[in-house]
Amino acid sequence: MQRIGIYAGSFDPPTNGHCWMIRRGAELFDELVVVLAVNPSKQAFMSLEERRSCLTDIVREIPGKVRIEVVDSGFLVDFAKDVGAGYLLRGIRNTPDFEYERTMARLNSRMEPDIRTLFLTPPSELEEISSTVVRNCVGIPGWQRWVRACVPPCVFERLSRRS
């Protein structure tokens, strides 16, 4: 039986932490579905197409069966069940991440007991990187020096064109 995992996020923008998680997921599962989740109540920093294009560039370099799907409604566990996934992959950088992800894992388990949540902790050099921090830095004088170290080249190029 094929082990299918889901790694979901808004990826706004994709970071090196996301890349690390995708690589690890590709090692763990026979197939990894990277779900680009759309939250219509949030103002996106990068367009859906920009994020999808960046994720496409990122997964192109990763060995293994990785595909990208856009999900704009419903529960992630319902999508996982529909595609035959048995696992949700989540990253935990710190205590607040753990508290949030533990709650979500319990809720998901109540909805779909057969779908398990796997937590991975990134290496220390990626702990402080988040899409929110990257978004907040873009545009501040000298932002390129720090952001370049936090995002893959395809994302940095797109961000550089904006400023």
Catalytic residue among 42, 110, 145, 161: 42
Residue 42 known to be catalytic: yes
Active site residue 93: yes
Show Cβ contacts of residue 83 under 8 Å, excluding neighbours closer than 6 positions: 4, 6, 33, 69
Chain segment 109-159, per-residue pLDDT in tens: 999 999 999 999 999 999 999 999 999 999 999 999 999 999 999 999 999
The pTM is what? 0.94
Confidence check: pLDDT of 19 > 90: yes
Per-position b or e across 110-146, b if 16+ CB within 10 A of its CB: eebeebebeeeebeeebeebbbeebeebbeeeebeee
Domain residue ranges of the chain, discontinuous segments joined by +: 4-162
Q: Which of 10, 23, 90, 131 is catalytic?
A: 131
* Rounded Cα gap, residues 66 and 4, in angstroms: 10
Using one digit for the tens of pLDDT, what is the confidence trace for 52-78? 999 999 999 887 799 999 998 899 999
- Which pLDDT does position 61 carry in this prediction? 81
pLDDT confidence band for 163 (50 / 70 / 90): low
Contacts of 21 (CB under 8 A, 6+ apart): 7, 89, 91, 120, 122
- For residue 26, the model assigns a pLDDT of 96
Does the domain made of 4-162 have the CATH classification 3.30.200.20? Answer: no
30 vs 11: CA distance, rounded Å: 22
Q: Is 148 a catalytic residue?
A: no
For residue 62, what pLDDT is reported?
A: 85
Residues 27, 30, 36: CA angle, nearest 5 degrees? 80
